[in-house]
Structure 1
């Protein structure tokens, strides 16, 4: 079982990963002064989707 499989199956790990993702987005926006906010948000959504953490589906298995 790989790290991504563990992330998909463990709710606590998913929540922690979402917090880390939000923190990274916030820091990137702070460093750029919000200039690239749309691009940072898009990158965050793509990364989360690839990890199986799609926020549009809150009750994931």
Structure 2
């Protein structure tokens, strides 16, 4: 889990202090998609904008506990089998 934790820490470090600028970018990107699609997918775009903004709020605040729905680490696909210990 070291690499994932390292990347997560770096992402949180980039988010902290820049929350409003990131949220403004999310809003502008959603508005751009709406203009290019003629508002056809505005409901979907709004959901994504809200989710992304909540993610920025959650990860930009230091000292928060992990989310309740966070996925646990996955064990290796091909673990090394135990050695046979029969006499």
What is the TM-score of this pair, normalised by structure 2?
0.50
Q: How far apart, CA to CA, are the structure 2 residues paired with 1:25 and 1:40?
A: 6
Gaps of 5+ in 1: 54-59
Q: How far apart, CA to CA, are the structure 1 residues paired with 2:14 and 2:40?
A: 35
Q: Tell me the secondary structure at the aligned position of residue 51 of structure 1.
A: helix
Alpha carbon RMSD of aligned pairs, Å? 2.0
Gaps of 5+ in 2: 1-8, 63-87
* Consecutive aligned runs of 4 or more in structure 1 exceeding 4 Å deviation: none
Q: 2:57 aligns with which of 44, 52, 58?
A: 52
Task: Tell me if 1:16 matches 2:21.
Answer: yes
Q: How far apart, CA to CA, are the structure 2 residues paired with 1:4 and 1:22?
A: 20
Q: Which structure has the bigger radius of gyration?
A: 2
Q: How far apart, CA to CA, are the structure 1 residues paired with 2:36 and 2:20?
A: 24
The one-character-per-residue Cα deviations of 1:35-59 (angstroms, maximum 9, x if unpaired) are 1111100011112212326xxxxxx
Q: CA deviation at 1:14?
A: 0.9
